[in-house]
Amino acid sequence: MSNIAPALADATGASTQVIEGALKKALPELKPDTIVPAPLKGLYEVTVGPKVFYVSEDGRYIVQGSLIDLETRSDLTEQRLGAARVNALNKVGLDNMIVFKPKTSKHVVYVFTDIDCGYCRKLHSEMAQYQAEGIEIRYLFFPRSGKNTDSWTKAVSVWCAKDRNVALTKAKKGEAVESKQCENPVEQHMNLGLAMGANGTPMMVTGKGEVIPGYIGAAQLAKLLDKEDHASN
């Protein structure tokens, strides 16, 4: 019995190396964050940023889609995607986000936002309500019009402002913000949003990694977050 664990570890390590080699050969631009055994025998789970997919242990086949446990009726892939999204957001770091923090934070929500998006502006205009519910909003930029557009330029100017929170609030009201250039995370935010499947704004990601597309009012969002917390405990 004492030899079983080392043998399993050796087998897992060998398969991981095979998969790493196969991915490097076929997809050299891909940089996996983790390669671990999947719940289904013969498959390995690969995470790349906020994405999750599966590879056969011989490194020949890639499987994309959801892995469902029929016994528990749970989506195992979505659970892992949630963790991958949170990990990717943590890598961005709070210093590269614009944070609106209530006196007491009960929940954290990451919001991919476009300064010129109507529902993004509605959400921001209700910031006091979100804060009253104890919801901390962590903004990342997602200018839908793309790079080198007016929305992108506004995002950069807000980031480069002396007080980013004040500048963002002004911009969300449609007020002019002094045009500035500096080192900024707008492209990093945009790429992460695209990797998470964002195709509109606002797009929320909860502290547990669940994606909530579109606008949701503070009271309804608080109920969803309370339910999410209860389910995970």
Residue 56: the pLDDT is: 95
B/e letters for 198-225, b = 16+ CB within 10 Å, e = fewer, are beebbbbbbbbbbbbeebbebeebbebb
Residue 48: the pLDDT is: 95
Task: Indicate if 69 belongs to the active site.
Answer: no
In whole angstroms, what is the distance from residue 169 CA to residue 165 CA? 6
Tally of residues, the chain: 233
Q: How far is CA 169 from CA 115, 134, 144, in A?
A: 9, 19, 19
The catalytic residue among 80, 114, 121, 138 is: 114
Classify 75 as helix, strand or coil. Answer: strand
Q: Which residues contact 113 (CB under 8 A, 6 or more apart)?
A: 120, 123, 124, 139, 140, 141, 142, 201, 202
> Are the C-beta atoms of 55 and 61 separated by less than 8 Å?
yes
Q: How far is CA 10 from CA 14, 15, 22, 35, 207, in A?
A: 6, 9, 18, 14, 35
Residue 6: the pLDDT is: 38
How many CB atoms lie under 10 A from the CB of residue 121? 19
Task: Indicate if 121 belongs to the active site.
Answer: no
Residue ranges of domains in the chain, CATH in brackets: 8-69 (3.10.450.70), 95-232 (3.40.30.10)
Q: For the chain, 233 residues long, give each residue's pLDDT as a single digit of tens.
A: 444 433 334 445 668 999 999 999 999 999 999 999 999 999 999 999 999 999 999 999 999 999 999 999 999 999 999 999 999 999 999 999 999 999 999 999 999 999 999 999 999 999 999 999 999 999 999 999 999 999 999 999 999 999 999 999 999 999 999 999 999 999 999 999 999 999 999 999 999 999 999 999 999 999 999 998 877 66
The catalytic residue among 80, 116, 117, 138 is: 117
The catalytic residue among 80, 120, 121, 138 is: 120
> Are the C-beta atoms of 39 and 67 separated by less than 8 Å?
yes
Residue 12: the pLDDT is: 53
Residue 9: the pLDDT is: 41
Task: Indicate if 120 belongs to the active site.
Answer: yes
Residue 3: the pLDDT is: 46
In whole angstroms, what is the distance from residue 185 CA to residue 205 CA? 18
Task: Indicate if 144 belongs to the active site.
Answer: yes
Q: Which residue matches tokens 């019009």?
A: 145
